[in-house]
Structure 1
Amino acid sequence: MKYLFVFFISTFTFAQHTEVVDFKTINATLEINPIKRNVVGKCEYTFEVIQKTDTIRIDAQKMEFSNVKINGYDVKFKANKKQFLLFEGFKNGTNTLTFNYEAFPTQAMYFVNWDFSKEMDTPEKVQGQIWTQGQGRYTSNWLPSFDDVNEKVIFGLTIAFHKSFEVISNGVLVNKTENGDSISWHYQMQKPMSSYLLMLAIGHFQKQTQIANSQIPLEFYYENGDSNKIEPTYRYSKQVFDFFEKEIGIPYPWEVYRQIPVRDFLYAGMENTTTTLFSRDFVVDSIGYNDRNYLNINAHELAHQWFGNIVTAKSGKEHWLQEGFATYYALLAEREVFGEQYFYNELYKSSRQIAQASKTDTIPVLNEKASSLTFYQKGAWALHVLREALGKDKFNLAVKKYLEKCAFQNVTTDDFLTEIDLISNYDTKSFRKRWLEGSVFPNEEVDALLQKNDFMKEYLQLLATPLDIVKDKESIVKLMKSDVYFPIKELLVYQSASKAFEQKHYLLIEALKTNELHVRQAVASSMAAIPESFREQYETLLKDRSYETQEIALFNLWKQFPKFREKYIELSKNWIGFEDKNLKLQYLSLAYLTDKKDAKKFKIYQELLSYTGTNYDSGIQQNALQKLLNLKINTKEIFRSLAYATGNHRWQFVKFSRDTIRKLIKEEKNRAIFNEILPELPIREKTQLQRLLDEKRI
């Protein structure tokens, strides 16, 4: 290789004493090779043995160790697939451990888009990224560390990497030192955190910085070429940050806050200490913001810096103390930005999701096997019930005391409820049984709280007793022309969906006149048939500042008005849409079906096929593959892309590819094509495809 990827890590404990061994420091030098996808490290630990023990354990997934010494002497050790075990050479008091190791992480550290072909053989041209994900994946896949969330330490990380890349980790950037083609980046934490919150991100990033009211630097990262998306992507970020510091009553506990969009991320976002990583799906322009804004994810991950990172749940059973709190505080932040009606509408939607799920899901909040919906949304509702019962001031005081007393510790639900008991006479035992230990969703209590809001009271009334499209025309028109919150107008449109066009024509006209994006989108998606007399009015939806509305309207118009297809294709030829290129791929798909010339159809096919390449994010690949398969194009090239998808790190894309291959190979001609490409595949993808081909046919 032409350059090295070298990391230097320091870790210190922060008043974190175990009963037997207290780890004090870790110093590590790591080399990361994005082509081999391996990590080679040289580490030094110092630790104190408090009580006599026969084994010291450090979590290390599938690592090989060598040159292991304690206090300067070679010692025997054992490394299984999960841990690094030490049996001799240590004494009561202070000890020093040194070793070398190598790891080939198959999870927790991800190498995305590293292509060193002849056309892209320099670091400046390579569009690769490296990023990590510790929660649920374990940092011990790439760094010997602690999978137990109850072990909190302070991390420092110094990274030497090619100077064309930006390198980000936890904590303050202490300094940067240039040395030839590389730059050394030194990051340092000042306070403790669990190992799952350690992060690393490397890519061709730039950043903008704002300063919070408390003088905390807020760093917003973006890729080259995305400068026009910075404002809409990070809109309201500073406002939310300032709101949380005031609302929670505890200053932001760290020295800096960063947000970094990365390619093909596993989740919507992850709250690593001081540095949130999030999916590029939420990098949007001013139009995309109207459909898919980042604000909720933004606020949710920021809230975790308090709820999860300052205080960390002792076990999976207490997971709601992280996700329920982050979900609720994100809603409070959205209320601060969008208002009371938005807040209640979101509470209503989540309540209906929980109520529906609770019909079959009987696992309560305080159970490590609870669903995400239960931990997040039901946990948030439990907090809303508490806040409404106590009042804002007492609720905030309890939260503040809880965070102050338990800072940098691990917590249980009792730790939080104790603070409620100390400031009020609220019956926390009954609350615990009803909301945290019970499987039934308290619908009556929920509806009573929802109806404290006038908009929601009117909405629920309309939902229970719909207006008659004919008899109540005057009332419907009045509502459409009023400044009532948009979900009521949206509901009126959807309630009329099954009615004859002649009866609801006036309502649709009034809905379009509102110029409210969600109401107009309801018109776009609710009409199974578009009469010719309404075509021109419906065509105005193609110009809405909503990529979702444009996609719906384009398809429906193309489908129902064949003689205008070329007009619609010409109109949409330069559309792109979201990061997954939803409009571009929709245009190509419809253009393929519209064009009669084989040469042009083949050119369109090639362009669609190009988006299935592994140099694109999996969202684009999947969208393109779905479009090609819907066109009934079953070629060797498409099947090869599907096979490559089985080796992707994102489970959603892997599931799509496997399920699609299973359907295709039911036909012998398709099975033959997959058998033909099998020998050409890399070992991982070959293994996955062979398993699918060997499955028993149903």
Structure 2
Amino acid sequence: MKYLFFFISTFSFAQQTQFVDFKSVLGKIAINPIEKTVSGDVDYDFDVLKSIDTIKIDAQNMEFSDLKLNGKSINYINTQKQLQIIFSFKKGKNNLTFQYLAKPKQTMYFIGSEANDNIQIWTQGQGRYTSHWFPSFDDVNEKVVFNLNIVCNKEYQVVSNGALKFKSELDGLSVWQYQMQKPMSSYLLMLAIGKFKKNSQKSNSGIPLEMYLEPKDATKFEPTYRDSKRMFDFLEKEIGVKYPWRIYKQVPVRDFLYAGMENTSATLFNTRFVVDSTGFEDRSYTNVNAHELAHQWFGNLVTAESGKHHWLQEGFATYYALLAEKEIYGEDYFYSKLYESAQQLKFASRTDTIPVLNTKASSLTFYQKGAWALFVLHEEIGDKAFKKVVKNYLKKHAFQSVNTQDFFVEIKKVSDYDLDNFSKVWLESTVFNTQQSNSLLLKNKSIQILFEVEKLKKKPLSEKKEFLEKTMKSEVHFSVKEAIVNQLKEDRFREKESLLTLALETKNIPVRQAVVASLNEISESFRTQYETLLEDKSYQTQEITLYNLWNNFPEQRIQYLDKSKTWMGFNDYNLRTLWLTLALSTPNYTVDKVALVKELINYSSINYEANIRQNALEKLLAFKIINDVVLGNLVNATTHHMWQFSKFGRDNIRKLLKNPEMRVSLERIVPDLNQAEQFQLNRLLKE
């Protein structure tokens, strides 16, 4: 679940895989967190299938030494993008060894510092980027059995692909030996290094399930990993093919680029999903968890041969994640999510001119339309046939690359379903088939009622109020009640007050949250009811409620601030940063405002994760608490590896530069910045 994905299958590599088959590799590597380098010995075994005079290994900006082919020194070319071995290769088995040194500019990320005792090192090779830290293959069709021996400071845990075969310690260092048994694409190679606590379980089929957290988050284990084993057992049974690897690990890492990444046997995910029981209500890891797990079959066991067939990974992972959520949350939830994605796809199809079977398709298309295509197919050919198709498809192409026709071949064996029409409608067309999707959605009773609610959108409230009140009082799924609240946004408060009261009385967090989001202005008559939202077990609800109450009732501000002064919220401190800005903006609130300013500014510094920093910077800028330190922290954001955060920094500096005084302030701090910060700020100053 990356929401960005790049497949590169260059001509040279598509050609090379016909001549050379790399079988296995042992990498003995050392990580230096101070120098931010990775170095070591690499030992590749490969078969030459046809005579060839040059073999290429992708390697970005690396240094090489001591290259030997079958134990003898060999000539090579280092293009800084590839290691090219020049030799008259004949058919047969070969061994290649060499040493390398890399200082990755991307793909391997060094987070934190020794000074703060919070170092983390992790990789993200999705698509074609592992070659920035390990000499490997940007072509997803070259599958290799990877084995790594990793040397690092003994204070840190090391997680990599496969089973941990051995761990030893010497002179303050530890060596972790990880071993794979089956081949995989290079982009699925991973490392995660840091201080973690491990919790182990076993699946019903006996697969070890290892779940990691930082020690400070140890109490959040249950809500973070809730239903993990249940989903594993469900997917293994539903897919019908035994989990293909020997172990499954999950590790949350700070400042991760995406929601999650399904490296073979070891998923990395964003720390925003590390939650307590209250945070679980708004930021559950459940869907991401199921999605990345499904990829262990769809993407890792069988890999799309090119970007054109990317839906075979993301569409399948999205659909099977939904099936796992259906197992946990029920059929109404399942259909409500399908309805939600159908609405997105219908809207997007007005401007999106790229279909599923296209390398340049959007994430929405690959993920959601791909999932819809599978849902349609599942419904049309029936559950028994669909499961047989998936099972046969995975077993036939295990540890290989696949395309859409490979999947279709298995469908034709069990069904005479019109695949030509299916492909044209769901995979080759940019139009979303509303008629067919509605027909399938309407099999669910809650969706039937939701459709009735949606038909009433343009009618005056007086004509539909009775029906809406009856629905709000019913046992219908909460998504329908949310839709009712959202439909009332433009109506006068007096006319909709009774419906909003009913919504609050549901005690359902998403429905009550919809009420919060629908009201900016709160009448005095509704204040007491609205204040109950401060007690909801939802940090998101509490954040919006606190701000709206503070904004609408100035005379009650001190009361609200006293009530919320110990709140922290999610692990991005959403409630704490809001409280600090509100306290600083309340003139008659007796607090040490210098200390509060210092605390808020500190949250915007490099000592914290990007999500905390952005929350703090948003508040500082919105409430105009800006000094040289704040500006420096904002400039530093532009150098961050997370594009969302760096863009946030650039966009806000551009806004500030429109103010002559802010321009002078930004120009003044240039000499105090490091080289990367100076480069980014000078570029913005010249725009």
Whether TM exceeds 0.5 here: the answer is: yes
**1:376 & 1:638 partners in 2: Cα distance?**
39
Contact 1:354 1:373 (8 Å CA) reproduced: yes
**1:98 & 1:471 partners in 2: Cα distance?**
79
* Partner residue, 1:230: 221
* Partner residue, 1:584: 576
| Secondary structure of residue in 1 paired with 2:592 | helix
Q: What aligned pairs does 1:200-239 form with structure 2 within 5 A after superposition?
A: 200-239=191-230
Residue of 626, 630, 634 corresponding to 2:622? 630
Contact 1:70 1:89 (8 Å CA) reproduced: no
* Partner residue, 2:112: 113
Q: Cα offset for 1:29?
A: 2.4
Is 1:533 aligned to residue 533 of structure 2? no
Is 1:301 aligned to residue 292 of structure 2? yes
* Partner residue, 2:306: 315
Contact 1:107 1:137 (8 Å CA) reproduced: no
Aligned residue pairs, count: 672
Is 1:679 aligned to residue 671 of structure 2? yes
* Partner residue, 1:326: 317
Q: Which runs of 4+ in 1 moved over 6 A?
A: none
* Cα shift readout 1:417-472 (whole Å, capped 9, x = no counterpart): 11111100100011111111111111111111111111101101111125754355
Q: What aligned pairs does 1:229-378 form with structure 2 within 5 A after superposition?
A: 229-378=220-369
* Partner residue, 1:5: none
* Partner residue, 1:11: none
Q: Cα offset for 1:228?
A: 1.8
| Secondary structure of residue in 1 paired with 2:327 | helix
| Secondary structure of residue in 1 paired with 2:106 | coil
Amino acid in structure 2 at the alignment position of 1:268 = A
Amino acid in structure 1 at the alignment position of 2:330 = G
Q: Cα offset for 1:237?
A: 0.7
Is 1:494 aligned to residue 493 of structure 2? no
| Secondary structure of residue in 1 paired with 2:57 | strand
* Partner residue, 1:50: 49
Amino acid in structure 2 at the alignment position of 1:306 = W
Q: Cα offset for 1:657?
A: 0.5
Q: Cα offset for 1:473?
A: 4.5
Contact 2:512 2:533 (8 Å CA) reproduced: yes
* Partner residue, 2:32: 33
Amino acid in structure 2 at the alignment position of 1:659 = D
* Partner residue, 1:619: 611
* Cα shift readout 1:185-227 (whole Å, capped 9, x = no counterpart): 1111111100100000011101111111101111111111212
Q: What aligned pairs does 1:147-166 form with structure 2 within 5 A after superposition?
A: 147-166=138-157
Q: Cα offset for 1:93?
A: 3.0
| Secondary structure of residue in 1 paired with 2:18 | coil
Contact 2:52 2:90 (8 Å CA) reproduced: no
* Partner residue, 2:468: 476
Residue of 499, 511, 521 corresponding to 1:519? 511
**1:642 & 1:204 partners in 2: Cα distance?**
28
Contact 2:210 2:250 (8 Å CA) reproduced: yes
Distance 1:145 1:513, change over 3 A: same
Contact 1:558 1:564 (8 Å CA) reproduced: yes
**1:21 & 1:476 partners in 2: Cα distance?**
67
Contact 2:253 2:268 (8 Å CA) reproduced: yes
Contact 1:71 1:90 (8 Å CA) reproduced: no
Q: Cα offset for 1:611?
A: 0.3
**1:508 & 1:71 partners in 2: Cα distance?**
76
Distance 1:99 1:596, change over 3 A: same
**1:188 & 1:102 partners in 2: Cα distance?**
22
Greater displacement, 609-618 / 509-518 = 509-518
Greater displacement, 137-146 / 68-77 = 68-77
Q: What aligned pairs does 1:363-402 form with structure 2 within 5 A after superposition?
A: 363-402=354-393
Contact 1:303 1:326 (8 Å CA) reproduced: yes
* Partner residue, 1:433: 424
**1:180 & 1:92 partners in 2: Cα distance?**
45
Q: Cα offset for 1:667?
A: 2.6
Greater displacement, 468-477 / 242-251 = 468-477
Q: What TM-score comes out, normalization by structure 2 length?
A: 0.95
* Partner residue, 1:603: 595
Contact 1:75 1:89 (8 Å CA) reproduced: no
Greater displacement, 547-556 / 155-164 = 155-164
Amino acid in structure 2 at the alignment position of 1:343 = F
* Partner residue, 1:78: 77
**2:468 & 2:686 partners in 1: Cα distance?**
60
Q: Cα offset for 1:138?
A: 1.0
Contact 1:73 1:89 (8 Å CA) reproduced: no
Q: Cα offset for 1:92?
A: 4.5
Distance 1:95 1:499, change over 3 A: closer
Greater displacement, 308-317 / 519-528 = 519-528
Distance 1:604 1:681, change over 3 A: same
**1:445 & 1:172 partners in 2: Cα distance?**
46
Contact 2:27 2:149 (8 Å CA) reproduced: no
**2:567 & 2:675 partners in 1: Cα distance?**
38
Contact 2:47 2:92 (8 Å CA) reproduced: yes
* Cα shift readout 1:13-62 (whole Å, capped 9, x = no counterpart): xxxx9432233443332222111111222223333333221211000001
Amino acid in structure 2 at the alignment position of 1:76 = N
**1:538 & 1:619 partners in 2: Cα distance?**
29
CA RMSD in angstroms comes to: 1.8
Amino acid in structure 1 at the alignment position of 2:676 = R
Q: Cα offset for 1:513?
A: 1.3
* Partner residue, 1:196: 187
Distance 1:597 1:483, change over 3 A: closer
Amino acid in structure 2 at the alignment position of 1:96 = N
Amino acid in structure 1 at the alignment position of 2:67 = V
Give unpaired runs (5+ residues) of structure 2. Answer: 1-15
Residue of 395, 416, 434 corresponding to 1:404? 395
**1:19 & 1:477 partners in 2: Cα distance?**
67
Q: What TM-score comes out, normalization by structure 1 length?
A: 0.94
Q: Cα offset for 1:641?
A: 0.4
**1:475 & 1:18 partners in 2: Cα distance?**
64
Contact 1:70 1:90 (8 Å CA) reproduced: no
* Partner residue, 2:642: 650
* Cα shift readout 1:84-103 (whole Å, capped 9, x = no counterpart): 11113755533333322211
